[in-house]
Structure 1
Amino acid sequence: MDSHFPSQDHLLSRGPRPQQLPPPAERRRLRELWGATLEEVADALNAEPETMAEWEAGRHNADTADTYAYACLLNAFREQLPTAHEPDWAALRNPPATAPPAPAAPVIPAQAAPDRAEDKPARRGARWTWEEKDCLRTEFLAGTPVQQLAESLGRSEKAVRWVLYHLRLIPFPTDDVPAPRAKPAKPKAYTVEEKRKVHPNAYEPWSTEDEQRLAERCAQGASLAELSQEFGRNHGGIASRLIKINAEGPAVEEAWEYGGEGH
């Protein structure tokens, strides 16, 4: 072998060469398709969430090792994302109306209307089991509308769409995100210290004891707002943790409808 070619040992000793990261828009797209939050990616790369946000937006340059790790993570997202199924997004967002034509004369007693209006999903707030998720996946891929899936599972349509998103079967359900979470035209810069003036435990790691207490308070019926105040974290952080620990209680339904993202 020619002497100007490096040996295997020499080539390996140089370590991995710097990876070319995809454009910022592609970094965010891959993360959101995977269903990961900025906090989760930051934790995986041992970075601060605000630094991760700058990195994803292309405004931060890391060293070679960190850049290589980030590139490997994004490549793993891209390679493992399912591509075989493409649902009809328009039909999913706007399920066709199937209401029967109005009869010539009323056939339902007038007093029955208030009872119908007060009906709530039978499984509201209950933990999603793997059997329910498997059933949801199968029926959705078979073409069952979201409205019908929600009725058969005893869940709200918003909760069904969020679970479908976390199963990576539909894109991010933007229409279901509450208005207060909408991003302003020009994001406001903030620091961790400023966030902690409102939520003292923002960005703090969750301990096993905190997670256990969170699950207990959720099972006791505490709402998302009450848990946010009690644990000193914003609604998104509480929602994300409730879903992650498979908690059970009314706040879990709020967490799915909230999207389960935050700090």
Structure 2
Amino acid sequence: MRIDLHAHSNISDGTQRPAELVAAAAAARLDVMALTDHDTTDGWAEALTAARHHGVGLIPGMEISCKTSQGISVHLLCYLHDPLDAGLVEEITKAKVARLTRAESMVARLAEDYPLNWDDVSAHVAPGATIGRPHIADALVAAGIAADRNEAFATILTSHSRYFVSHYAPDPVLAVELVRAAGGVPVFAHPLASARGRVVAPEIFHDMIDAGLLGLEVEHRDNPPEARIWLRSLALEKGLIVTGSSDYHGAGKPNQFGENLTSPEALERIVAQGTGTAPYLP
């Protein structure tokens, strides 16, 4: 089986509708995929309809943007949680509102130096989508200010840029607890992706594990080879699920569906642990 458990639609920062995303998974010969849009489950229904049409298994999920007390970004994948769980919804809504305010502030700063306004950015955001820096990057590309998303993030939108604005995000330990309370399976996304910025110290891993973390996304293009060795050792020591994924964003990133895969055994463990919503496995 070909299983890829990390993909984004244009409901967050991907470039394809959920139905188009599932069609792309089918074209990539995937047997099972997960929809893990940032801080939203709004694409689940459309993706499920498409999954039934294409005969592709679907694991409903989400990627939660978190931040440690040291200001280090942490992304937490969660699978099969209850999308209506009050505690998780409240925290995600708080983060989404903060994302919007942050984006508005960043665009206002950018407008001082570049021919860019809020309408330019809004044109790249699907209705109801969770707005983020990728949408600002798309507007910069469309305006000819940056060549592509990667260049925009490496220069104008980097966290060291004067245009950068921080925003609220839940602590990863709290996020793990909320996901477990919602019947979901929390997996630490690309946990040692050092090229993206600072990564957390080992004690944060252990704090998240103590809170109920169930897996590590080990096979991901942004985890260096030496980091994957350490992650596999930790997973073995703590009995964690090991996953591999593409982190596919359509045309938004070079990542391709199926470039990293999750084993059937790992999927079985995720399905067994998830009690908040049901997977679709034809």
Specify if TM > 0.5.
no
Higher strand fraction: Structure 1 or Structure 2?
A: 2
Which has the larger helix fraction?
Answer: 1
Bigger Rg, structure 1 or 2: 1
Q: Which has the higher contact order (CA 8 A, sep 6+)?
A: 2
